[in-house]
Structure 1
Amino acid sequence: MSSRASPGRAEHMGSLLRPAEFLDTLKKETDSKVREELENREIDIIVKDQLNLGFRIVNDGEYRRTLFWGSFFESLSGFEEAPLLESNHRTYLPKVTALLEYHIPTTLVCTSKIGHKGNSPHLQEFLYLKSIVPADRIGDIKITIPPPHWYHLRYKHGQAYRDGVYASEEEYFQDLAAAYRTELQILYDAGLRRVQLDDPDLSYFCSSDVIEAWDLDKTNKQSTSELLASYIQLYNDCLKDVKADMHIGIHVCRGNFTDSRYWSAGGYDAIASQLFRDLNVNTFYLEFDTARAGGFEPLKSLLLNKNVVLGVVSTKSPQLEDIDELKERVHRAAEFIAKGNNVSPEQALQRLGVSPQCGFASNSNENRLTKHNMLDKLNLVRELANSIWPGEA
């Protein structure tokens, strides 16, 4: 795992806690230049924290964002704000339920042809990081971006775009994929070599509750398995022009709200064969911190040209896990990869890394843990990696 097209042995998912005083100051400050300077100052600190802890892969903690998915869709042509209506949403999906319970009044909907305007909201994030890390570490900067279907799954079939905009879901996906290809090329040309797609929606396909509700919804034109296949194809279309030295990872997120709400429960068994074999990414970032994610058995479907970063350390509780138990779990995961590929556990172990199960701040106001708690958790991840792969970053 020494090439750039590989994860780190120890990673984190991207979002990191913002100091309360930083958030308070931002709320009061209206001058955009001053706000940017405040963000820069805090990013300087959090990057130094990551480097001091020995993390090879670093990012800006998503400090310029309010929510983990940022503002990419707002930067595209074709998407506009619209009222969040129960009538055209799949209200049984946990994220829609949450939006309704929190009385979120609006969402985005496609009202005209989707296109990339040439301005990337992720570019500013990367360029600042590029300016503050050592020159030989630029290739280790990671930027997280939202999944392409983020404003699709929530809508009932055919409702993600206005009447007359697209003749089919396939046409909608084609333009969306083209916009992602442009985004990735812009970032690559600027020097970025690591992208992580954060996708909570994929976890729905693991949930028996969601699948049961889906099957009862007569407006659906596809089974969940068929829709998953179309999303995998969408991803592959988004990624088809990615250069070999750009590492692409996908985090199958299960939710990490302040009130401990989560997206779904259920092991990866239902999606493992399709996802691990058909999705053209380098690395899967998978959550394995609680029983609701199931066991490691689905990793038998992982191909040996792909990697898994095991999210075995919780970001939901300040309590530190036992490092020996964590180490045992990582070796157990390697055994299933070995069985599925007819290799030794030692060979399978080379496809693995470790991380917290999710980000520490999916939204900017996350407050379950203190920064001290977070650094302790990150240090535990680093120590766990050192105990399994000594000398490897």
Structure 2
Amino acid sequence: MTGAALPRPRRAEHLGSLLRPAELLGYASQDTNATARRQIENREITIVVNEQLKIGFKAVSDGEYRRSLFWGTFFDNLEGFEAVPLDANGLRTYLPDIKVLLESPFAPGASTMCTGKIRHPGSSNHLDEFLFLRSVVGPENAGNIKITIPAPSWYHFRHKDGMAYAKGVYDSDTGYFEDLAVVYRQELQILYDAGLRRVQIDDPHLSYLCSPQIIEDWAADPESIQTPTELLETYVNWYNSCLGNVPEDIHIGIHICRGNFTNDRYVSTGGYDIIASRLFRDLNVNTYYLEYDTPRAGGFEPLKSLPLNKYVVLGVISTKKAEMEDLEELKGRVYKAAEYIAEGNNVSLDVALERLAVSPQCGFASHCRENRLTRQNMLEKLQLVRDLAYSIWGSQA
């Protein structure tokens, strides 16, 4: 992916998930007729899309209203993955999300795991999401629809080395990576052929590779073969294989955050410094959606490594708290980020600003039951994103 003419993010973006209305949650908690459930989803998606358009967003999502969690059922629909009894012995129990997963009363009885050779089923649940969105915005605006998909490493990262798949299925990670890369290329081709041009890959685990505490715990694990640095190298190459045949007119972004929990116990901390050079220069994506609303994500200095053929969407507005940020302060932070891009590339501030956009730091409801903000809070935050973009880029926003 090279060249200045490649697809770019919109200046005002959000990260996909939006707060679910009460009626939709009510249906989700019941054994409801599938047709009735579909009707309420369609109605509420139409409402929330029109709210996005009214505020002035060009890139719109369905709020992930058909999913209970941000990664949806993508892996469950693949051949080779199934629900199996949860086995903590195969997991990196020092990772924050795994700690939460194993805690009573949250511990589930099962987890999704690779138990057979990985194959794409030939159909895509993301395709249904896209096609309905296209019916809402019209075919002429289909290029602005954004679909979020989970990272290929979602169920790999949490497992100890060599334990992301059942014994006898793959001899090593190599075969697992190759088959899953084929699946992602097939998935993206299905969506591209239908007209989708904007994809966001959600990978919060990459932020764990920035955390001094997690890196320390990882080093203390006698069963770890790869270091976090070596794993990043592996993942960059794997991602590039997953995106190996992506047409140049599709916009691919990767979202890296530390969650939208308010309790630091559930998130990683640490700036992007450790992973920035490899991530920005070698990962074949157009855009990086980065959390930047609190000091836990570090400073803007790593942006000096961003090449001028890529973009960063600065997540400077929080979805973790209802309090509204000050627009002028946010604007100053965006300009500060641009200064580091300018320094790293020896270009003017105006040129550096062209590589930036703005968004909230995470989705508003990575889990459908998240409700720290009201719907009005959410709409006000989205309006602030739009106002911030307009204050910097004017009509180009």
Matched, 1:158 2:186: no
Partner of 2:206: 202
Letter in 2 for 1:40: N
Secondary structure at 2:167 match in 1: coil
- Contact 1:198 1:252 (8 Å CA) reproduced: yes
Matched, 1:254 2:230: no
Q: How far off is 1:27 after superposition? A: 2.4
Q: How far off is 1:257 after superposition? A: 3.6
Partner of 1:72: 74
Matched, 1:103 2:107: yes
Secondary structure at 2:169 match in 1: coil
- Contact 1:287 1:357 (8 Å CA) reproduced: yes
CA distance in 2, matches of 1:114, 1:309: 33
- 5+ long unaligned stretches in structure 1: none
The equivalent position to 2:389 in structure 1, one of 370, 373, 385, is: 385
Identity of aligned residues (%): 61
Q: How far off is 1:2 after superposition? A: 10
TM-score by length of 1: 0.98
Q: Deviations over 1:181-219 (max 9, x none)?
A: 000000001110000000011000000000000111111
Q: How far off is 1:327 after superposition? A: 0.2
TM-score by length of 2: 0.97
Flag as ranges the 4+ runs of structure 1 deviating above 3 A: 1-4, 257-262
Q: How far off is 1:261 after superposition? A: 5.1
Partner of 2:238: 234
Secondary structure at 1:114 match in 2: strand
CA distance in 1, matches of 2:303, 2:149: 25
Letter in 1 for 2:380: D
Secondary structure at 1:189 match in 2: helix
Greater Cα offset, 120-129 or 28-37: 28-37
Matched, 1:331 2:343: no
Q: How far off is 1:260 after superposition? A: 6.5
Secondary structure at 1:151 match in 2: helix
Greater Cα offset, 22-31 or 123-132: 22-31
The equivalent position to 1:28 in structure 2, one of 23, 30, 46, is: 30
CA distance in 1, matches of 2:23, 2:39: 15
Letter in 1 for 2:88: E
- Contact 2:96 2:265 (8 Å CA) reproduced: no
Q: How far off is 1:122 after superposition? A: 0.4
Secondary structure at 2:123 match in 1: coil
CA distance in 2, matches of 1:172, 1:36: 34
CA distance in 2, matches of 1:136, 1:130: 9
Matched, 1:271 2:279: no
Partner of 1:295: 299
Greater Cα offset, 256-265 or 367-376: 256-265
Partner of 1:184: 188
CA distance in 2, matches of 1:187, 1:306: 23
- Contact 1:198 1:250 (8 Å CA) reproduced: yes
CA distance in 2, matches of 1:89, 1:335: 41
Partner of 1:306: 310
CA distance in 1, matches of 2:245, 2:324: 41
Secondary structure at 1:21 match in 2: helix
Structure 1 residues 173 and 2, CA gap change in structure 2 (3 angstroms): closer
Greater Cα offset, 255-264 or 123-132: 255-264
The equivalent position to 1:58 in structure 2, one of 45, 48, 60, is: 60
- Contact 1:205 1:271 (8 Å CA) reproduced: yes
- Contact 1:75 1:119 (8 Å CA) reproduced: no
Structure 1 residues 3 and 48, CA gap change in structure 2 (3 angstroms): farther
Greater Cα offset, 13-22 or 375-384: 13-22
Q: How far off is 1:3 after superposition? A: 6.0
Matches within 5 A, 1:58-137: 58-101=60-103, 102-137=106-141
Q: Deviations over 1:218-238 (max 9, x none)?
A: 111111100011111111000
- 5+ long unaligned stretches in structure 2: none
Partner of 2:320: 316
The Cα RMSD (Å) is: 1.4
CA distance in 1, matches of 2:214, 2:30: 41
CA distance in 1, matches of 2:145, 2:82: 31
- Contact 2:6 2:248 (8 Å CA) reproduced: no
Q: How far off is 1:80 after superposition? A: 1.3
Matched, 1:172 2:176: yes
CA distance in 2, matches of 1:390, 1:313: 19
CA distance in 1, matches of 2:330, 2:370: 26
Secondary structure at 1:280 match in 2: coil
Q: How far off is 1:258 after superposition? A: 7.1
Greater Cα offset, 131-140 or 200-209: 131-140
CA distance in 1, matches of 2:5, 2:43: 31
CA distance in 1, matches of 2:217, 2:373: 34
